[in-house]
Structure 1
Amino acid sequence: MDQKSGFSAEHSEEHVGATLRLLRKQKGMSLKALAEASGVSVGMISQVERGLANPSVRLLTSLRRALNVSFQELFAKPASETEHEGDADFVRRADNRPVIDLGDLQKELLTPTDKPHLQLMIIHIDAGAESGGWALSYPAEKGGLVLAGEVILSVDGRNVALSQGDSFAFDGMRPHSLSNVSSEPASVLWIIGAVQFDRHL
């Protein structure tokens, strides 16, 4: 377990590629069909599905939209899921957090159930890692809090250095990315709020 972030590697045994392959087959889509719908090459999708390549957040978003699946569906179930009988549906226990493993970046789901208007997660970023080669941009309200380490948040091309305790919020339609240029791992509480479609028509 990472002493700074509290993230356990046991959660990330199943790579996101296995989940993508299962979702693609459930949708009855071939590699070629998914490639045409997402704009991602057949070769890249194949490598991701076999765990030979770690997809960037941008690439993962393109595949998710092409498959028409929710963000939560990309999360693998915890390796050793603990049942809590009688638990309320608005609670997710610390030992029952699904994870998306992107290699040098992991997303740990905090949202109790499939909430389309609110997503809570902890993003764990290895030293030198980033969210992707290009800035993301899609309709959503985003915010967060740096839990450990130091990161660079870029919004509309403006880079801001953030450290433990710093918080932020911005319109997800503004191109943005997250990176860790330090020599230590970092963790960020990441919040994606309700999409206000009337603002983005």
Structure 2
Amino acid sequence: MRRDTEPRFTATPPPGVSEFQLGANLRKLRKQKGLSLQSLAQASGVSVGMISQVERGIANPSMRLLTSLRRALNISMQELFGETGNEIPVTSDPQFVRRRAQRPVIDLGILHKELLTPPGRQHLQIMILRLEPGGESGGKALSYPAEKGGLVLSGKVILSVDDVAAELETGDSFVFDSNQPHSLRNTSDTSTEVLWIIGAVQFDRHL
């Protein structure tokens, strides 16, 4: 992770979910919903072969692919990160708080996603995305009902919305309707961190 002058971004994040663990989560959730690989492929638009590779932990899925699978499975962001009601740590904190040490993480190599939203199925989802040099959200632009916004915490990123691209630097912010095709790319030679917010969305439609 890129070192920054503000301590909240320099601390080592908690252990994350590997591709293998992520695949196991998806396989378990698919079976719980009684879906075959073929059924999930038809619902998500992702090939049977790719889903199988993701479930076995031998593929490095993009944000776009994970979003397609999550929407088809109708699961929350917390469930994708491996959290269930039985696995949420018992603490003295109120339900609206998530401590830094309890943030679930998915590390996909060039893309790192750290969930800030407290446990449960909220309409508002907040994450920190880290894109390594050359990293992007996926080869095909995302498009689905939601409202998104964010803030570049460090580095530079190119945000494309409806074929209009903007290079954003540290401190720049943005809001857009994600019905419009959109994607993120890091074309710089350093890591980029983005505070990513998704709000006012139905559970089967958010990222």
- Same fold at TM > 0.5: yes
* Partner residue in 1 for 2:205: none
Distance 1:8 1:83 in 2: 20
Gaps spanning 5+ residues in structure 1: where? 197-201
Contact 2:88 2:119 in 1 (8 A): no
TM-score with structure 2 setting the length: 0.85
Q: 2:146 aligns with which of 132, 140, 147?
A: 140
Q: 2:169 aligns with which of 126, 145, 163?
A: 163
Contact 1:74 1:100 in 2 (8 A): no
Give identity over the alignment, percent.
63
Cα RMSD (Å): 2.2
* Partner residue in 2 for 1:199: none
What does residue range 8-27 of structure 1 map to in structure 2 within 5 Å?
A: 8=12, 10-15=14-19, 16-27=22-33
Aligned pair 1:113/2:104, yes or no?
no
Q: 2:10 aligns with which of 2, 6, 15?
A: 6
Runs of 4 or more consecutive aligned structure 1 residues displaced over 6 Å after TM superposition = none
Gaps spanning 5+ residues in structure 2: where? 203-207
Distance 1:31 1:82 in 2: 28
Rate the CA distance shift 1:90–1:9 in 2: closer, same or farther, 3 A: closer
Deviation at 1:10, TM superposition (A): 4.9
Which string of whole-angstrom CA distances, capped at 9 and with x for unpartnered residues, describes residues 153-184 of structure 1?
Answer: 00111110011111111111111111101111
Contact 2:157 2:192 in 1 (8 A): yes
Aligned pair 1:52/2:52, yes or no?
no
Residue aligned with 1:12, SS:
coil
TM-score with structure 1 setting the length: 0.87
Distance 2:92 2:77 in 1: 26
Equivalent residue letter for 1:3: R
Contact 1:99 1:107 in 2 (8 A): yes
Rate the CA distance shift 1:153–1:7 in 2: closer, same or farther, 3 A: farther
Deviation at 1:191, TM superposition (A): 0.5
